[in-house]
Structure 1
Amino acid sequence: MALQGITKIAFLWRFALALVIVMLFTPNATLAKRSTKMAAGLNVNVIDRCWRWNPNWRSNRQQLATCSVGFAGKMTNNIGRGLIQYVVTDSSDNPLNPKPGTLRYGATMIGGKKWITFQRSMNIKLEKPLLISSFTTIDGRGAEVHIAGNACLMIYKENNIIIHGLRIHHCKPQAPSSVMGPGSKIMAVGQVDGDAIRLVTASKVWLDHNTLYKCSDGLLDVTRGSTEITISNNWFRYQDKVMLLGHDDGYMRDKNMKVTLMYNHFGPNCNQRMPRIRYGYAHVVNNLYQGWMQYAIGGSMTPSVKSQANLFIAPKSGNKEVTWRKSSEGKTGSWKFFSVDDVFENGASFVQSNAGGTKPGYSREQDFAVVDARYVRSLTKSSGALRCTPRSKC
């Protein structure tokens, strides 16, 4: 009997030890699984693969400028000789007399090439729209930077601009006003509707890894002849009107507009305009659409849209058609809305017009490999502003 008791105790000890081992190593296994998924997404994301593997990205931030693709091309004009490193240390804002250390001072008062970073995490409430000057990079990596609660960002007749790693939300309409603008000049700004980022006659702009949501009007406007734009790795959520490409039906200069939308995550709770395009050309590739209410991709004035290898997840109820067209007198014959290798879930569908349509016609530095749509979930897993801790990779 004594021997049986000892055997029973030994068995219980072995069982307890096994249970402890399982408890200790199961979280690591889960973490390893998550790390594997992240690595898989990073491996196929040509932009992130260019810089996120580098554990020393903080000491080589300018590597980012060599990683962009799509119509913006490489942003190497933003780096090199004469580059000024500017650090935002003050979250306050004075629209007419910016203080050194504030974001507005760096974006408007400093000429030439500047790379703007942030000393720490901060919430910036802009008193008036922030006009960003040419050859400016705003790099939010390593800090949690919110621009929220009032005015937001505008690029007006400027070029060669990178906006990376910001959280922009709860932007509000603004009455006409005067603000400090590029070149340290006071500029008049008309009524603005409350967009997170508004591009007006801008060119060569790259918007990457930003999180945008809950603004009074839209999240992103690309208007009045803006072109050579790449919109990548962003997270758009909780918004009625998400993205407008093209000013209005009467603004024919937008025929020259070229925009690449890649690796973005739309949703949850987005209604329409992902994007809505007039006149110009949009290459919509490898994006995740987490439902919609009215439509996902729409437009007017005979635009050209190539939808390629996206994942469209239709809402559980309501409209499951991806596209919407505002036709002129019922004529859509010259439209080019076509779908190539897209994946449709929950009954999503895509009505094509002139299937086959126009190719992007990328140059060598703009071109990139399109990923199979089956991997879009993994590809867009890190969309939005990244959490980059002091001792780890982004």
Structure 2
Amino acid sequence: MRKLMKSVVGMLMPVLLFSTIGASPVQAMVTPPSTHAQSAALIDVTSGRILYSKDGDKELRIASLTKIMTAIVAIEEGKLDDKVKVSPSAFAKEGSSLFLKLGEEMTLENMLYGLMLRSGNDAASAIAEHVGGSEEGFVLLMNKKAEQIGLTHSHFMNPHGLDAEGHYSTANDLARLTAYALHNPVFKRIVATENKSAPNPNESWEYSWHNKNKMLRLYDGADGVKTGYTKKAFRCLVSSATRDGQQLAAVTLNDGDDWNDHAKMLDFGFEHFPLVEIAKHEQPVQNMELVTGRGFKYPLAEGEQEALTKKLVLLDQRSQAETAGSNSTTGPSFGLAGRIDMQLHGEVIGSIPVYRKGSYIPPEPKVEDAALGSAMDVTTWLSVWKAVLSRLLSP
């Protein structure tokens, strides 16, 4: 069993590493949009490809865009139906607020709506204390998550985004964070909500929250994400929109004309980088008794498809033999035969597994299966492999 596990892990690691790339920057091929931002970025959510970047790695204050990280950590680490209590340190927090009462209790889910729609700093602190045990404990989780998803120019000091030394991120990192978070159905649902009501235990009337993100009303297809402002960070915004099955996310830091700039950035992405289906699920591999294990889509500018190449990498026969057996405990034959690396201009942009025809092919998980309160993987591809390993190694 140990030998089998070592063999499987040895085969999976290269593929998993490739699966997290998919973020090649755009080469100079189309005229980028002009913005008033100090720093900006545009990303395709499906692939993680940065489509536009202006000083995208410049480390800056990010104000309440911090709450994107707060929300996704809370969703992954907490339970949505938990009651969150407002402590003395969360009560009457400076800046934007839900005006929660001292000792008031609210479900984590409702508090997340207040966090993202009204940017409640009191909600941010209450959530952090509940999920992390303390605000400091939660900040550790935030920085751990940043490291996990590859945010190399970000560091968090608090869950709300009030100005603090050592608290910063970049447009590129925030774009990657947003793309990661938008793969979580709970996060995606919350940030797309324009109006939300919640029970108020202290009054006869309910809380009623109207989303501060005007892009939801100004831009066709808008479905997120978060506004931000402090006197030192100035106006910050992350927006997202979906058209024809493609979702983009735009980021600007210190931008006095952000609503218009975001419309221009999103228009630019949809017009010049449509999402192209490069491979289908269970598509036959030419001249081989193999099929693909999942589909692959990537945003490509005009003329880029000609620069796209596919490289088939096969496992050695010994590795295939060790994992190809079928018996009563492992179920159907596990027929992983290798992978196809997708390359653009010679750079790997993603990878898909290939299987022998007729062998067991693990299904891609349904979105709802990765939902409430559970950790979302960097890719759905990773959770597929967890299912495969569970099947292979079960007693």
Length-normalised TM-score, structure 2:
0.30
Specify the structure having the higher radius of gyration (Cα).
1
Return the structure number with greater strand share.
1
